[in-house]
Structure 1
Amino acid sequence: MTTVAEGIETSFQKDFLQEINCDMLQGYVFSRPLPIKDFEKLMFQNSSN
């Protein structure tokens, strides 16, 4: 079973969920909502690493 945690807002929450092997995390701790152009720029930068 794949587990997804949504609404992660703090590093403490992120670290805890990673420690208990949560498969996927989503929330403001990673990024606030972005305009599409900023999102595309972020995805392009991350795909080139």
Structure 2
Amino acid sequence: MHHEQEAAVALQEVGRLRQRCRDERQIAALDVLAVMRERCAGAPGSHLWFAGD
């Protein structure tokens, strides 16, 4: 899978997770994640790295 495809899947997952959130902090965190993903999409060669559970 290419980075663009992975990013598209990740953004879909953010949308699904957002629908399940009831806590405003969780929703805000997912919104920030979506913005970061969009910024990476506009910057060739950039990556988002995740650490933790």
Q: TM-score, normalised by structure 2?
A: 0.32
- Relative contact order: is structure 1 or structure 2 higher (C-alpha 8 Å, sep ≥ 6)? 1
